[in-house]
Amino acid sequence: MVNRMDRILEPELMDEVEQGIAYAQADFSGPNIQFLNLFAEKFPDFSGNGKVLDLGCGPADILVRFVQRYPGCQCVGIDGAEAMLAPGREVVIRKNLSSSIDLRCQCLPITGNEQKFQVIFSNSLLHHLHQPEILWQTITHCGEPDTLVLIMDLFRPQSKKEARRIVETYAGDEPEILQTDFYNSLLASFRVSEVREQLRQAGLVLDCEQVSDRHLAVWGKLE
């Protein structure tokens, strides 16, 4: 069946204090571990060292888990909402990871920064962006030849009914604020074909495939 539901934009920033608290308290260990396992699968030869950039890091759960798995890395996480970063800052301090993780409140695109990263990843940022090209511009600007890239995001279901079914299946027991955000995010997400076209226009030779019943992923090395 052809997916014909048009994209419905949602706010780019999740800057409500209640959202930050809800996301920090929610259990995203399943999808976050899936993300890390996908990274290990796509880049089995990763040395475990280098500078890492997490775009749209939120409460930094993935970065914390990444550093625990790859302790030789120096990581920078950026997010445009301090409300999302605040709980992550507390976790980084509590786990004594301040020397490995630097969290910054910053919006895309990143320009004028000469720092280059050997790994760039992002989980669930793309669907928030009203202009998705700024993600690919930032990756190009902050990367270098052979930088490892992994972007995972939701993909848009065929209908609002299907979106509600996905929310009920995977977040039916979560607080209402998380269920509402999840539903809106599904409606705001892209199709695989749309992301492939974004990559083509950005001049990025990266793979893009569906990796679960609700996620797509983009991965590869910058040329």
CATH number for the domain spanning 149: value is 3.40.50.150
For 27-36, write each residue's pLDDT tens digit. 678 889 999 9
Q: Is residue 10 part of a domain?
A: no
3-state secondary structure of 10: coil
Q: Is residue 188 part of a domain?
A: yes
Burial tier of 1 (Cβ tally within 10 Å: 0-12, 13-18, 19+): exposed
pLDDT at 15 over 80: no
Structure tokens, 116? 């280059």
CA atoms of 83 and 21, how far apart (whole Å)? 8
Q: Is residue 90 part of a domain?
A: yes
Tally of structural domains, the chain: 1
pLDDT at 3 over 60: no
Q: For the beta carbon of residue 175, count every other beta carbon within 10 angstroms.
A: 14
Burial tier of 189 (Cβ tally within 10 Å: 0-12, 13-18, 19+): buried
Q: 151 is in which domain, residue-wise? A: 17-221
Give the closest residue to 150 by CA, choosing from 89, 82, 204, 187: 204
Question: What are residue 59's phi and psi, to 5 degrees?
Answer: -75, 5
Q: Is residue 124 part of a domain?
A: yes
For 96-128, write each residue's pLDDT tens digit. 999 999 999 999 998 776 789 999 999 999 999
Q: Is residue 1 part of a domain?
A: no
